[in-house]
Amino acid sequence: MLLFLGRSGTGKSYIITSLVENYGFVESVSCTSRPIRPNEKEGIDYYFITEEEFKNKIDNGEIYEWTCTKGNYYGTPRENIKDLSKLIIDIDLVGFERIKKDFEDERIVSIYLYANDEERLRRMKRRGESQEEIEKRFKIESEYKYESETYDFIIDTTKLTKEEVYEEVVKELKSKEII
């Protein structure tokens, strides 16, 4: 199982999509109660459901791990946690800790992608996020404390193109004989 962590604008989505396309990994598509954005697709980026539907899924045990961020729910459907050998999850710190605990006997590789705030801001603006959305993300994410010794790999994406980041991730995964 590959777990990708990092703040918004660090390149997680591109890397995950590329690994799925080139190495046969399966991305765990999360559920969210937030509204769909113009460039997103149902079932590809997220499963977009109402807050009531999300809470029902929690109550019914259909959500493996979840969090509420910026007033919206995000979570991993339990049905996604099957074949762990080819699974990729873009996950937050709370979900990461839960998976590490629940699957301590499984082979889990965690990759933290980092970019400085100036570069993250540039990337988020380039992909069309509103100033209000960016400010919300920065405020929420400033509360997350990512400890470097927790992850198998940390890659600073600040001065790299997304293609260079992808090549670095592939190199690291090959070094661990994951691909």
- Provide the CA 9 distance to its chain's centre, in angstroms: 11
- Residue 2, pLDDT score: 96
Q: Mark whether 135 and 105 lie in a shared domain.
A: yes
Cβ burial, residue 44 (10 Å; 0-12/13-18/19+): exposed
Containing structural domain, residue 39: 29-80
Between the CA of residue 113 and those of 31, 85, 101, 152, what are the distances in Å? Answer: 22, 21, 22, 11
Q: Quick one: CA torsion of 14, 43, 111, 73, rounded to 10 degrees?
A: 120
53 and 106 share one domain: no
**Domain match, 18 and 45 both:** no
158 and 107 part of one domain: yes
Confidence at residue 133, expressed as pLDDT on a 0 to 100 scale: 82
What is the reported pLDDT for 77? Answer: 96
Are 138 and 158 members of one domain? yes
My answer on whether 11 and 89 are in the same domain is yes
CATH of the domain at 95: 3.40.50.300
Tell me, yes or no, whether 129 lies in a domain. yes
Q: What is the pLDDT of residue 147?
A: 65
Structural domain count of the chain: 2
pLDDT of the residue at 113: 93
Question: Domain check: are 92 and 75 in the same one?
Answer: no
Quick one: pLDDT at residue 148?
67
- Say yes or no: 90 and 11 in one domain: yes
Q: What's the pLDDT at 47?
A: 97
Residues 4 and 90 sit within 8 Å (Cβ to Cβ)? yes
Residues 73-116 have pLDDT tens digits of 999 999 998 888 899 999 888 888 889 888 988 889 999 999 88
pLDDT tens readout for residues 127-164: 888 888 888 878 777 766 666 668 899 999 999 999 99
List C-alpha distances in Å: 104 to 4, 28, 78, 130, 151: 17, 19, 17, 39, 14
Statement to judge: residues 133 and 89 lie in one domain:
yes
Q: Could you tell me which residue, 72 or 136, shows the higher pLDDT?
A: 72
Same domain membership, residue 76 and residue 89: no
Residue 23 included in any domain: yes
Residues 27-64: tens digit of each pLDDT: 999 999 999 988 889 999 999 999 999 999 999 999 99
CATH no. for residue 70?
A: 3.30.63.10
Residue 76: what pLDDT?
94
Cα 129–132–134 angle (5° rounding)?
50
CA 171 to chain centre: 20
Q: Which pLDDT does position 29 carry in this prediction?
A: 95
CA distances to 27, 34, 90, 135, 160 from 45, rounded to whole Å, are: 10, 12, 11, 22, 24
DSSP conformational letter for 164? H
Examine residue 179 and state whether it is found in any structural domain, yes or no.
no
What is the residue-averaged pLDDT of the chain? 90
